[in-house]
Chains A and B, each alone.
Chain A
């Protein structure tokens, strides 16, 4: 069974940093690209970052480029999202997701909540 379990969320002040983790199991982690997607309090879904299966290529939207860094450790079957210079608009539930057929996100974790507030 494919499982993705996120952790590391919490309350952080504006300008602060936070590192999220996503532990993967039930599939060959090193064979799949992975992504982070967030859902705002208004329930809007926003793509945050994608990393290739081997970790060589990373992709970000302009809204987080230069502030967020996606990485992975294929030996530990774990995906990461390092977030810095956090803003109130980064407040959201953060999900990790596997890129499956055609690059659609075929499995999602349960999410970890990030709140940016003073």
Chain B
């Protein structure tokens, strides 16, 4: 199975800052990488798929990049509604696997 290693596990930032979360795959997954946001008590929501394609309705301050085994999610100018947890997941066929998550908290 493909292992997804996500970092950092937690991150503290202020409104207006820019943050980056990284995800590494244990083997080449080309661009088959998705990012999800999850707020407390809610289900995950798709942010980015195919490494860099924003899902419908996702603000342009979010951007995804990378290919192969190294990927990142960048959030420009953090807004209060951006705080929560973020997960990466490869969608390069089954078994799908997720990163362990990054908890983004308000500083």
A residues within 8 Å of B by Cβ?
35, 43-47, 50, 59, 61-62, 95, 100-111
Interface string of B9-36 (1 = CB under 8 A from A): 0000000000000000000000010101
Question: How many residues does chain B have at the interface if contact means C-beta atoms less than 8 Å apart?
Answer: 25
Measured in the bound complex, the distance between the Cα atoms of B89 and A35 in whole Å is: 14
Is the beta-carbon distance between A104 and B43 smaller than 8 angstroms? no
Q: Which of A46, A59, A62, A102 neighbours the largest number of chain B CB atoms within 10 Å of its CB?
A: A102
Measured in the bound complex, the distance between the Cα atoms of B1 and A47 in whole Å is: 12
Chain B at the A interface: mostly helix, strand, loop or mixed?
loop
B8 within 8 A of A: no
Measured in the bound complex, the distance between the Cα atoms of B47 and A106 in whole Å is: 9
- What are 23 sample pairs from A and B whose C-beta atoms fall under 8 A apart? A43-B85, A44-B100, A44-B101, A45-B98, A46-B98, A47-B96, A47-B97, A61-B1, A95-B44, A100-B46, A102-B32, A102-B34, A102-B49, A104-B46, A104-B49, A104-B55, A104-B91, A105-B34, A105-B46, A107-B46, A108-B43, A108-B44, A109-B43
On chain B, the residues within 8 Å of A50 by CB distance are 94, 96
Residue of A nearest to B99 (CB): A45
Interface string of B46-60 (1 = CB under 8 A from A): 100110010100000
Per a CB cutoff under 8 Å, which of B1, B46, B85, B87 touches A106? Answer: B46
Query: Given A43-B101, A110-B43 in contact, is the A104-B34 Cβ separation under 8 Å?
Result: yes
On chain B, the residues within 8 Å of A103 by CB distance are 32, 91, 93
Nearest chain A CB to B99's CB is how many angstroms away?
A: 8
On chain B, the residues within 8 Å of A108 by CB distance are 43-45
Query: Given A43-B85, A95-B44, A101-B50 in contact, is the A106-B55 Cβ separation under 8 Å?
Result: yes
Query: Given A46-B98, A47-B97, A50-B94 in contact, is the A101-B43 Cβ separation under 8 Å?
Result: no
